[in-house]
């Protein structure tokens, strides 16, 4: 049953977003303290789990740009994916607080920040045009 796989994907996306970023509701979104400590202890050249999980989150979110993949995914999965990507963006791509230097460089304009932002804008545009919802709510 495909709905079981999609349900698991929803939970994986939510877990990834909660692992990578504090909720930030009513607060300034920040990288969780445990992740900051892990990155600061990590040596140069070692794989970065934050980057790997972030890449996976953005990759799943960007699957809606492929029409064949979009036909398989449910609107609910894509709704959760874009909400998770927004949470990630507030924390890593457009942070209000200081993030570890290695992450700041990686997601800056000089790093992959512009490419990720471009992808997420395309995803948002695609989702709004494919599933517009209640048009009178769009401002």
DSSP letters of the chain?
A: -HHHHHHHHHHHHHHHHHHHS---TTS-----HHHHHHHHHSPTTS--HHHHHHHHHHHHHHGGGSHHHHHHS-HHHHHHHHHHHHHHIIIIIS-SS---HHHHHHTSTTTTHHHHHHHHHHHHHHHHHHS---GGG--
* pLDDT (mean) for 27-38: 86
The C-alpha atoms of residue 97 and residue 17 are separated, in whole angstroms, by 18
The whole-number pLDDT of residue 96 equals 82
The whole-number pLDDT of residue 57 equals 93
pLDDT band at 56 (very low <50, low <70, confident <90, very high): very high
pLDDT band at 11 (very low <50, low <70, confident <90, very high): very high
- State yes or no: pLDDT of 130 exceeds 90: no
**Angle in degrees, 0-180, between the axes of helices 49-62 and 75-88, rounded to the nearest 10:** 140
Tokens, residue 126:
């695609």
pLDDT band at 108 (very low <50, low <70, confident <90, very high): confident
pLDDT tens per residue, range 39-51: 888 877 788 889 9
């Amino acid at each position: 049953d495909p709905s079981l796989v999609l349900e698991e994907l929803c939970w994986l996306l939510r877990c990834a977003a909660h692992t990578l970023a504090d909720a930030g509701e009513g607060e300034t979104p920040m990288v969780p303290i445990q992740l900051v400590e892990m990155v600061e202890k990590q040596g140069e050249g070692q794989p970065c789990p934050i980057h790997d999980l972030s890449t996976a989150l953005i990759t799943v979110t960007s699957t809606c740009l492929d029409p064949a993949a979009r036909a398989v995914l449910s609107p609910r999965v894509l709704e959760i994916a874009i909400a998770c990507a927004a949470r990630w963006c507030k924390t890593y791509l457009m942070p209000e607080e200081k993030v570890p230097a290695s992450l700041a460089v990686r997601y800056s304009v000089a790093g992959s920040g512009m490419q990720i932002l471009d992808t997420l804008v395309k995803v948002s545009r695609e989702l709004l045009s494919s599933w517009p919802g209640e048009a009178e709510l769009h401002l």
